Chains A and B, each alone.
Chain A
Amino acid sequence: EGLPEALPAHAPYLLIGGGTASFAAARSIRARDPGAKVLIVTDEPDLPYMRPPLSKELWFSDDPAVTDTLRFKQWNGKERSIYFQPPSFYIRPEDLDGAENGGVAVLNNRKVVYMDVRGNKVKLDDDTEISYDKCLIATGGIPRNLQLIERAGEEVMKRTTLFRKIEDFKSLDKVSRNVKSVTIIGGGFLGSELACALGRRSTESGLEVIQMFPEKGNMGKVLPEYLSNWTTEKVKKEGVKVLTEALVKSVTCKDDQLEIKLKDGRVVTTDHIVAAVGLEPNVDLAKSAGLEVDSDFGGYRVNAELQARSNIWVAGDAACFYDIRLGRRRVEHHDHAVVSGRLAGENMTGASKPYWHQSMFWSDLGPDVGYEAIGIVDSSLPTVGVFAKATAKDTPKAATEMSGTGIRSESETEDTAVSPVASDTPSPAAENKDDFGKGVIFYLRDKVVVGIILWNVFNRMPIARKIIKDGEEHADLNEVAKLFNIHED
């Protein structure tokens, strides 16, 4: 038996965090610096992986072993793993120093707890010290929880899931097969996607899926009210009992179930809660490193080139950066992690490029609602939506799509037998002639388009990106909408 192998004492490129931004940076560094030695340090047990399938594709897989394989079907029909690369792509941390052509090494289950910027080194939770030449902080964040759940005690906490990582997906998958009722608190992307995913499952298993949130409709902070309302109706058709304008007052555990009391008096009884109420960016190293934290958006404050201080860059969810077109912001989407990680990697290898290529994001909520978006998409901004008018020839999309018809009629039956305590306030008489089947929505700030949603129209992102990049005032947005050919497929 020889001497135990040592971890590298020095990493030319040290990446803190093992998620999407970090992996994208590693790729970029390796592409640009021949023979680069990159060390990723992560407190997770897993190699870098993609997060979106955890709340989307993995739930729709036909494979009963999906929680083990973690494979899903892509947009182009081909299957792939959520892991960016298989283990053979990486080299062992112990081999990094001696690797003739360099490589990417991942050190799992270790947390960086202290950063000595003056000495260009970090300390891990096992007291190991690693020095670096260039460092990336890509620590992402941790899911927020409702304070009143945190204070509600052990029995409530153990019936509550905060969803972010692979282990959370596995755990929720298991829970959803073993309980009769699950309640999602939160009406944004994650909450709505999980509600729809679980709602689809509920048709076979009889699982009751409830979603509650303070806004008036799903995606209420993103979509203009008319569209948020329309989307909420679609989410309900996925088998979800949606409670809008719901503010939680208390959560208690009674007889092995959870009792959620709302401020308006409504009471919901459920077996398990999924809290999807936002992400707290991880800025644990700010103090020791002497890095600035942004008070408006949270996260580490960095410049347009994603640099915090000399030799330190930040990318992904934890980066509050200066976007030279749209202003200072912090973005929590997958493509942004890829774009910013890649850019950080470029700048760590000598480029000095600002954040310029606008990242995008997307969401699918059932068979009728699929959208892609770019820029600042905030429902408090004035919007102009241009939709394809349904002609006399068109049949309502919902009725013709797939096997959704059967599902919808089932959930309507369920609705009539609902327990009195969980009843919905009746929705205002909707003008059903407005079918927002497909179109494009422009978000304006001082008459300039700062955000665009492509609503059920796809493959048009480049033109949307161009309009945001130009930053021009357009007198007639209907003319701009023409550029998208919304009537074509």
Chain B
Amino acid sequence: MSYCREDGKDRIIFVTKEDHDAPSNAELIADDPNDPYEEQGLILPDGGINWNCPCLGGMASGPCGTQFKEAFSCFHYSKEEVKGSECIDKFRSMQECMQRFPELYPQEDDKEDSSQESAPADGSASERDSSPSAVEVSPENPPPTVNPTTS
């Protein structure tokens, strides 16, 4: 059984697991998926890409941000049978840029470890590590490169 006491203006309730077994009858307001004030995910309601999505880490803002955006946009809007097959040059350009900054964009063999440790981007994890680069995937562990030949 739960027990409850008052400490001045503060109320204290102790509850057992059984006390909290029955589903809550508290009412929450239904969320509007198109609420313009809310944080957006990777894909915007109009189908475009949200470059400011925390899930992208620093990819769109760093020194290779322009190349990243061009490659990823090309892939995203590609209507080819093999999606993104016309974007090879842009991906190459992006990779060439990233190779110049190994500190920011660890190379292929490091990615195995990095992707395991990337923080989930859906906000379900604690935001204690929140930083523009840590609540998402940090540039020290970038998300796996989008490879147009696999999908």
Q: Which A residues lie at the B interface, using CB under 8 A?
A: 20, 23-24, 26-32, 34-35, 50, 52, 74-78, 80, 84-86, 88-89, 91, 101-104, 224-226, 334-335, 338, 341-342, 345-346, 353-354, 356-357, 360, 362, 372, 382-389, 391, 434, 458-459, 461-462, 466-467, 470, 472, 474, 476, 478-483, 485-487
Contact = CB atoms under 8 A, between A and B. Distances in A.
A482 B11 contact: no
Given A23-B132, A50-B131, A385-B13, A224 B7 contact: yes
A80 B66 contact: no
Summarize B's interface: helix, strand, loop or mixed.
Answer: loop
Given A335-B127, A362-B128, A467-B28, 7 more contacts: A28-B61, A31-B61, A461-B123, A461-B126, A462-B123, A462-B124, A479-B24
A88 B101 contact: yes
Given A224-B7, A486-B20, A461 B104 contact: no
B103 A88 contact: yes
Contacts of B134: 50, 74, 80
Contacts of B16: 388-389, 391, 487
Contacts of B69: 34
Given A78-B141, A85-B104, A385-B12, A470 B23 contact: no
A84 B62 CA distance: 12
B139 interface: yes
Nearest to A474: B26
Nearest to A381: B9
A76 to B, nearest CB: 6
A76 B9 CA distance: 38
A89 B26 contact: no
Contacts, number: 191
A362 B69 CA distance: 34
B139 A89 contact: yes
A480 B65 contact: no
B52 A31 contact: yes
Nearest to B119: A76
B128 to A, nearest CB: 5
Nearest to A488: B17
Contacts of B117: 76-78
B36 interface: yes
Nearest to B59: A31
Interface residues of B, number: 62
Interface in B48-63: 51-52, 56, 58, 60-63
A261 to B, nearest CB: 32
Contacts of A386: 13-15
A349 B110 CA distance: 34
- 9 closest cross-chain pairs (CB), A and B: A30-B61, A482-B24, A101-B66, A356-B37, A389-B14, A31-B52, A224-B10, A31-B51, A479-B26
10 contacts: A31-B52, A31-B56, A88-B63, A88-B103, A384-B11, A434-B12, A459-B125, A462-B123, A476-B26, A482-B20
A480 B24 contact: yes
Nearest to B56: A31
B130 interface: yes
A151 B140 CA distance: 47
Contacts of A341: 132
Contacts of A76: 117, 119, 125, 129
Contact of B23 (A226, A482, A486): A482
Contacts of B9: 382-383
A487 B17 contact: yes
Contact of A459 (B3, B7, B23, B126): B126
Contacts of A345: 52
Nearest to B117: A78
Contacts of A101: 63, 65-67
Contact of B131 (A20, A28, A485): A20
A102 B52 CA distance: 17
Interface in B66-92: 66-67, 69
Contacts of B3: 389
A364 B115 CA distance: 28
A461 B140 CA distance: 25
Given A225-B7, A342-B132, A483-B26, A88 B61 contact: no
Contacts of A357: 37-39
Contacts of A338: 130-132, 135
Contacts of A353: 36-37
Given A86-B103, A382-B10, A346 B24 contact: no
Given A74-B134, A88-B101, A389 B52 contact: no
